[in-house]
Amino acid sequence: MAALASMGLALSCAAQAPAPVLRLVVPFPPGGVTDLAARALAERLGPALGQTVIVENRLGGGSRIGSDAVMKAAPDGQTLLFTNTSYAILPIVDPALKYEADKSLLPVGMLARYGLSLVVTPALPVKTLPELVAYARKHPGKLSYGSSGPGSGTHFLGEYFKSLTGTFIVHIPYRSTAGALNDVAGGTLDMTFDATAKAYADAGKVRVLAVTGVQRDPRMPAVPTAVEAGLKDFVVVSWVGLLAPVGTPAATLARLNAALNEALAAPALHQRLQDMGLTPDGGDPQRMLDQIREDVRLHRQIAKQSGLRFD
């Protein structure tokens, strides 16, 4: 009887043991839109899964270090990559990585999509996108734009803008888009592309000329899309979402995807994402896989069209 009682106690303790902590690896610094979105999701994903979810920033190599860490993690559903469109760009930037964006990690699901704002310093004598293009053409090499580093999504975006407008604007790489945005606000950088510029615009520190999405940002309804402002084909939509190591069981992926969509169903998370300028998305892993493949196609096109090389 004592032995049976002991076994029962052990089984009870095992049943009450906490679930392992789920780590969302963000390969970017804290404070950016990807990091903020990850933290907003973590608060809702934990209850949906019945376990603790933490965000871990693993910086370096233009998101290489964090992405690589998840590729090498155990495929048990406890370590996931929370990243953005840069994941699809990395193989184009660094072929030596020897990974394929649509095969080296398994999509769990997208959290949200978003366009970026084209922002300029108020000191620049332009108030519309056509005026910016005209000014840049008249003063080749005088203007500078900031990105979050060579080969980043904002670097591709800046070069795409230059190729479509026939302008020469100097590229200034930063460690993050936040650094570039701060310098635009401070007047030491002419322009950048950013998803968190609204607060700066409201304070009069930057001027938003257009957004790169397919529709206007509802937080800034007076700001046109780049297409509406006359720049045909300048539509680039980014995303944030979850990926898992290859080998993760299908049942685990399904459980994670269901939890992601359950979290997205919460009005509070919807509102937080919209306050960041993100459009809540969700859906199944195939939807995310299709987007990744489209991103690879588009950024290869941009690299070829702009003559981008990363030696």
Is 176 domain-assigned?
Answer: yes
Q: For residue 240, which phi and psi values (nearest 5 degrees)?
A: -130, 140
Q: Is 122 in the same domain as 158?
A: yes
Q: How confident is the model at residue 18 (pLDDT cuts 50, 70, 90)?
A: low
What pLDDT was estimated at residue 171?
A: 97
Task: Round to whole Å and give the CA distance between 10 and 4.
Answer: 10
The answer for residues whose C-beta is within 8 angstroms of residue 17's C-beta and 6 or more apart is none
| Domain, as residue range, for 133 | 117-211
* Percent over 70 (pLDDT), the chain: 94
Contact (Cβ atoms closer than 8 angstroms) between residue 195 and residue 273: no
Q: Is 109 in the same domain as 181?
A: no
- pLDDT tens, position by position, 138-149: 999 999 999 988
What pLDDT was estimated at residue 91?
A: 86
Q: Assign residue 73 the CATH number of its domain.
A: 3.40.190.150
Q: Assign residue 141 the CATH number of its domain.
A: 3.40.190.10
Whether the per-residue pLDDT at 13 is higher than 60: the answer is no
What pLDDT was estimated at residue 196?
A: 85
Is 302 domain-assigned?
Answer: yes
Mean pLDDT of the chain: 91
Q: Is 20 in the same domain as 68?
A: yes
* pTM (2 d.p.): 0.84
What pLDDT was estimated at residue 191?
A: 98
The DSSP output letter for 189 is S
Residue where a domain terminates, one of 171, 192, 211: 211
Mean pLDDT calculated for residue range 211-233: 94
C-beta atoms surrounding 162 within 10 Å:
17
Q: Is 94 in the same domain as 156?
A: no
Q: Cite the DSSP H helix spans in 118-214.
A: 129-138, 153-165, 177-186, 198-202
